[in-house]
Chains A and B, each alone.
Chain A
Amino acid sequence: MSAKPAGLLEIEGLTIRYADQAVVDVLSFEVAAGEAVGLVGESGSGKSQTALAVLGLLPGDADVTGSIRLAGAEVVGATEKALDRLRARQVGIVFQDPMQALNPFVSIGRQLRQVVLRHGIAKGAGARDRVVDMLRRVGLPDPERQYRAYPHELSGGMRQRAMIAQALIAEPQLLIADEPTTALDVTVQAQILALLEEVRQDTALLLITHDLGIVAGHCGRMLVLEKGRLVEAGPTAEVFARPQHAHTRTLLEAAPRLNVRPPAALAAGPEVLGVTSASVSFRVPGAGLLEAVRGLDLSVAAGETVAVVGESGSGKSSLVKAVLGLVPMRAGRVTYAGETLPARAEARARETRRDLQLVFQDPVGSLNPQMRVSDIVGEPLRVHEPDLPREERGARVGAMLEQVGLGDGFLDRYPHQLSGGQAQRVAIARALILGPRVLVCDEAVAALDGTVREQVLALLARIQAETGLATIFISHDLAVVRAISHRVLVMYLGRLVELADNATLFEAPRHPYTQALLAAVPVPDPAAPGGEAVVGGEVPSAISPPAGCAFHPRCPYAVERCHESLPAARQVGATWVACHLAGELSLRGVERER
């Protein structure tokens, strides 16, 4: 046919339709043996559909045309038997959520052994040895024991390692990883990405992700999808340096970066909301007491944004729920405008309740699916100003929606008729319509795509500038925190790790955990280092945290003292830090863009 060597995976004119709606539109690309290709795009761009098509796993109502050749064999229209031969032997996949992808009733070892036996790779005791060997290669500690473990007994990162082991055990020529680290904490993400690089060896990698930082660090070539169409393809370094398509430029601009200029520091204003030695605990049936928050202090001033950062299990969500009175506090108190508030939201005065508002993580889940936008945004008015005439209420709802960038056309819509970004704007409008003084954002932009996230953050910043709103911003995304917050609080297993103003914390971290977090963030620049796993391991269970400093088992600097005594928070320079060695270590932060 042609002169150029045949690729391992050749996709030509692939089109996937659902009920005449094309989700992938005449897509063509190739992956050569051994190379790593990044497939990037926002949600709905068709990147996961493409992956499923390669595996022949699309649902029955998908209409697939075009051609997908995997090592010369056609996938489109192939029989289930033919596909079965291709899968595992030729192509392995790692999904976003390993808990969904692994069978919860079968031990990890047996699941992997099934693959080995089924494809005739080894028999009997040989099969078992091969599985144990594979588990060792993906870095599962004590593989003999993990062989017998069930998926729920492993942590998220360990499950993803097991998933990678399952994908690679039949030594396929192509590994597809569909958002393999999106469900993981950032320090674990760095470990998993490093592992993928290390274990794949000659296996080609098709890495599907929304995170340009991951592509920059791990893929030689990248493909950019927009609404099912391929808009740009080329070597990663070249695409980053000279993006040709407008959509690529937009994605690159919206890519999260740590080296941006932080918001100007704020002159210390009067405290609006304060939390003093807050503790929150939950009883976990059969496991004991889970102390989610252990004696934490926090304060926010008018016009200030304080970010609370931490990985899963750090207690950041429990902290805000306690502040808002949605869960009870075991100890400590919340003060608002100088007065101590009752613990339960229901017991608080009406005026206080209208002044403290919350924006949730899941924009669609936080809106009642059976209510129209006008009713959702108008409900707080109905509760707090019941005497307001209908017309006036309508006018205020309209004005509020205008302010968050939604026109009159949205008044009669239901939540399922909104995109994620629009739904989050509606949620923000509902939170702001009463003119609150404190806004709590619980991972408010985590579910949004890059460009939409930028818009929502800009909206929040504008409203803060106009109204002097005090904001508590819960996030695990350090790039977002860097871009919008004045002060940053880092939490680990319910305790304060480090608290400092934005510039100090990012550029001169004082705690090894903060350094690890910063280093683990993938940098969207192919030339820059980043996404490095400085620490190993994962966040331990909050039910039985390690003795002494909770971070010591993962800390590269830990000394004997760290095993024994809990470091108290103390001030070092401009930073509050809870580390025995604070001030003695020289830690690496983020360099600001020239």
Chain B
Amino acid sequence: MNGTTGMVARVSRSNAVRLFAGMLLLIVVVAIVGPWLSPHDYQQTNFDRLLSPPAFENGHLFGTDDLGRDLFVRTMLGVQVTILVAIVASAVSLLIGVAYGAIAGFLGGRVDAAMMRVVDTLYALPFIFFVILLMVVFERNFLLIFVAIGAINWLDMARIVRGQTLSLKEREFVQAARLTGVSTAGILLRHIAPNLVGVVIVYVTLTIPQAILVESFLSFLGLGVQEPSTSLGALVDAGVNQLEGASYMLLIPAALLAIILLSFNFLGDALRDVFDARCQR
């Protein structure tokens, strides 16, 4: 798209962006490749090795859990699931939020007022309870988690995009396009959307950790990902139960979760600095 080359160049010049993006990439690569290299499987139980601590010789790098399953492979699976949930949820919020916000902001007037009151109403719903209700009524469905989390996050995205669109549409280049006779769709796609990219990218990097937290929270409550599959939240939940005998079961997934969350947060902050500097030039 227009202008993206300049943006990519500027983003990749930032050291902070490179550091945290590199760290996240490393975690994802290890999470995908790791289980292939391990001799163990994520659901294979071994009753000879219940709660055996981390050791290099037997290949249980992170030890085993109370069913004798290899924790390294399970943790890597948890990372995969957690990041997948976060990315899909953010993508859902991105699609709905950007479209909804841009349309409300651009059309303005009564349409805008009506659309934003809908958002306000949805904000008022206690979403965690709403999600729990969904989980209870329907079967505990992996897909439903994505939808539920995405449905929380798009509200923020819609508000931010609407605000940006409102100010963009008063800018002179949009008026110039109107005057020339560019269609509404053309103005939205060619003039408004490209100028939203920066804000949206920054905001998405900041919603990903939010989504991760919500997923972990649901899994911790036992409402999220179900056995034998797992996520970092579910692993932390299991670890809490074994805190006295096998603290590694809690510490390792919790530490990974913290590292991932921090990396996304720092990445979002670093990206915001890059784009803010761009705005001020």
A positions within 8 Å CB-CB of B: 324-326, 345-346, 350, 353-354, 356-358, 360-362, 365-372, 375, 379-380, 383-384, 414, 416, 427, 430
Contact = CB atoms under 8 A, between A and B. Distances in A.
A416 B281 contact: yes
A360 B176 contact: yes
Contact of A371 (B3, B172, B180): B3
Given A414-B6, A416-B281, A366 B172 contact: yes
A347 B3 CA distance: 32
19 contacts: A326-B179, A345-B179, A345-B181, A350-B181, A353-B181, A357-B180, A366-B172, A366-B173, A366-B175, A367-B173, A368-B191, A370-B1, A370-B195, A371-B190, A379-B180, A380-B180, A383-B183, A384-B180, A430-B180
Given A414-B3, A414-B6, A379 B194 contact: no
A397 to B, nearest CB: 14
A438 B209 CA distance: 54
B196 to A, nearest CB: 10
B195 A362 contact: no
B117 interface: no
Contact of B178 (A326, A375, A416): A326
B178 A370 contact: no
A324 B179 contact: yes
Contacts of B24: none
Nearest to A376: B173
Contacts of A345: 178-179, 181
Interface string B1-16: 1110010000000000
Given A368-B195, A383-B183, A414-B6, 9 more contacts: A358-B175, A365-B171, A366-B172, A367-B173, A368-B173, A368-B177, A379-B177, A380-B181, A430-B180
B238 interface: no
Contacts of B173: 365-368
Contact of B172 (A360, A370, A380, A414): A360
Interface in B182-220: 182-183, 186, 190-191, 194-195, 197
A414 B191 CA distance: 14
A354 B181 contact: yes
Nearest to A359: B176
Contact of A370 (B3, B175, B179, B186): B3
A357 B194 CA distance: 24
B180 to A, nearest CB: 5
B197 to A, nearest CB: 8
Q: Which 8 A-B pairs have the closest CB atoms?
A: A370-B3, A370-B194, A366-B172, A368-B173, A360-B172, A380-B180, A365-B172, A353-B181
A133 to B, nearest CB: 41
Contacts of A366: 172-173, 175-176
Contacts of A427: 176
A370 B183 CA distance: 18
Contacts of A353: 179-181
A414 B195 CA distance: 13
Contacts of B186: 383
A324 B175 CA distance: 11
Interface of chain B: mostly helix, strand, loop or mixed: helix
Contact of B179 (A358, A365, A368, A369): A358
A152 B151 CA distance: 42
Nearest to A366: B172
Contacts of B175: 326, 358, 360, 366
Contacts of B177: 368, 379
Contacts of B190: 368, 371, 379
A369 B176 contact: no
A375 B179 contact: no
A162 B175 CA distance: 37
Contacts of A369: 3, 195
Contacts of B171: 365
A384 B281 contact: no
Contacts of B180: 353-354, 357, 379-380, 383-384, 430
Given A368-B195, A414-B3, A346 B182 contact: no
A370 B195 CA distance: 7
A414 B10 CA distance: 14
A370 to B, nearest CB: 4
B3 A357 contact: no
B176 A358 contact: yes
B2 A375 contact: yes
A361 B172 CA distance: 9
B181 A368 contact: no
A66 to B, nearest CB: 27
B176 A430 contact: yes
B277 to A, nearest CB: 12
B141 to A, nearest CB: 40
A383 B182 contact: yes
Nearest to B7: A370
Contacts of B181: 345, 350, 353-354, 380, 383-384
Interface in B245-261: none
Given A365-B171, A367-B173, A357 B179 contact: yes
A356 B190 CA distance: 22
Nearest to A375: B2
A366 to B, nearest CB: 4
Interface in B1-35: 1-3, 6
A368 B175 CA distance: 11
Contacts of B191: 368, 371
B182 A368 contact: no
Nearest to B197: A370
A327 to B, nearest CB: 10
A388 B258 CA distance: 56
Nearest to A358: B179
A357 B172 CA distance: 13
A414 B4 CA distance: 11
